[in-house]
Amino acid sequence: MSVLSISNLSKSYKKHLVLNEIELTIDGPGIWALVGPNGTGKTTFLNVITNILPADSGTVEMLGKSNKDPSIFKEVSFLQDNSILFDYLTGYDHLKYVCDVNQIPKTRVQEVAEYVGMENYVHKVVGNYSLGMKQHLLLAMSIINKPKLLFLDEPLNGLDPTSSILMRKILRELADQGTTIILSSHNLAEIDRVTKQILFLKDGKLIEKDLSEHEITFYHFIVSDPTKAMNLVSDKYVTDNIPNGLKVQLSNHQLNEMIDLLKEHKIEIFDIEKEVTGSEKLYQEIFEVGEES
């Protein structure tokens, strides 16, 4: 049984086709990032999958059940944007409400509030929350039922570095414990930190990519004689000039060769820094975005 199985899924707003016969099967736990430029249909996709919006055609099954079966939400959650929160209620009220609706023991409220680090403000009204605090509450609401399948729409929005680190830790822990997570995000650097599995949404279709098959590693060498070093290796490797040094595309094995070569020619190495190209490079290729020079 697949965790998520989507077949022939289409959705238009009047004549504007946003999702075009999408197919997707996800079988195991892990994290998948849903990526695409503004307005490509990420929110529409998540809303249609979770049956908040009706599809024009196609089927969606989660954990073996149709997305039209309300009982799936015992095991499936969707973190939407903070417009679903009520300013005059406390975080505790929101969490207790989710427990009441889904017959979850109230003991989970305190447990989950502590887990997402909101125990100090859980009894304050949401109207006084910052954007990041609201994101914590939304996360708490979406994991209080210990979901097997979790959708998150822009969960990293408005988070400071401390909160981003906590959010990443929580997502990884959930995935390690068996949850399948699909999150939409514009933040490619954050995505690189949580997953290598990317679903690019382009022209109404999903393009699935495993970043580990597309990674390229560059090493930045800061050396005593950059010109001499460049002359030595530029015919052999892909290279580029950087201030006080050079950037070279190398495998692990080639890295040792390169170090030996520089030493052999009495070129001093002051520093070596590793750079792995991640989702941004693929994003540029898929969406044909050029970099300004």
Among 3, 6, 18, 79, binds ligand ATP (CB under 6 A): 18
Complete edge-to-edge strand list for the sheet that includes strand 239-242: 239-242, 245-249, 216-223, 269-277
If residue 110 lies in a helix (H) or strand (E), which one and from where to where?
helix 107-115
With vertex at residue 239, the alpha carbon angle to CA 216 and CA 219, rounded to the nearest 5 degrees, is 50
Nearest Cα neighbor of 56 from 89, 16, 27 is 16
**Helices (H), ranges, the chain:** 42-49, 91-101, 107-115, 131-143, 161-176, 188-194, 226-233, 252-264, 279-286
Residue 13 engages ligand ATP in binding (rule: CB under 6 A): yes
**Region of 21-29, 38-46, 139-147, 253-261 interacting with ligand ATP (CB under 6 A):** 38-46
Instruction: State which residue, 41 or 155, has the beta carbon closest to ligand ATP.
Output: 41
Total of chain residues touching ligand ATP, rule CB under 6 A: 10
- Which residues have CB under 8 Å from 160's CB, separation 6+? 132
Q: Of 16 and 266, which has the nearer Cβ to ligand ATP?
A: 16
| Sole window of 40-48, 230-238, 255-263, 284-292 interacting with ligand ATP (rule: CB under 6 A) | 40-48
In the complex with ligand ATP, which residue's Cβ is closer, 207 or 242?
207
Q: Is 36 a residue that touches ligand ATP (CB under 6 A)?
A: yes
Residue 83 binds to ligand ATP (criterion: CB under 6 A): no
- Token duo for residue 137: 């509450």
Tokens representing residue 160 in the block: 């400071």
Stretch that binds ligand ATP, among 32-40, 119-127, 162-170, 252-260 (CB under 6 A): 32-40
The least distance separating ligand ATP from the CB of residue 36, rounded to whole angstroms, comes to 5
Q: What letter would DSSP give residue 250?
A: -
Contacts of 44 (CB under 8 A, 6+ apart): 11, 18, 19, 53
Ranges within 213-272 binding ligand ATP (CB under 6 A):
none
Choice from 26, 35, 41, 199 touching ligand ATP (CB under 6 A): 41
33 bridge partner residues: 183, 198
Q: What angle do CA 56, 57, 59 make, to 5 degrees?
A: 130
Q: Report the residue number, 15 or 266, with the smaller CB distance to ligand ATP.
A: 15
Does 287 help bind ligand ATP (rule: CB under 6 A)?
Answer: no
Residue with tokens 């820094």: 273
Q: Residue 32 to residues 13, 17, 82, 193, 236: CA-CA distances in angstroms?
A: 26, 24, 22, 12, 37
CB 55 → ligand ATP: shortest distance, Å?
A: 13
Instruction: Assess 44 for contact with ligand ATP (CB under 6 A).
Output: yes
Q: How far is the CB of 13 from ligand ATP (least distance, A)?
A: 3
Pairing of strands 149-153, 239-242: unpaired
Question: Which residue, 13 or 86, is less far from ligand ATP as judged by CB?
Answer: 13
CB of 159 to ligand ATP, least distance (A): 17
Q: Which is nearer to ligand ATP, 34 or 262 (CB)?
A: 34
Asked if 155 is part of the footprint of ligand ATP (rule: CB under 6 A), the reply reads: no
Residue 40 near ligand ATP by CB under 6 A:
yes
Rounded CA-CA distance 44/266 in Å is: 59
Binding residues for ligand ATP (CB under 6 A): 13, 18, 36, 38-44
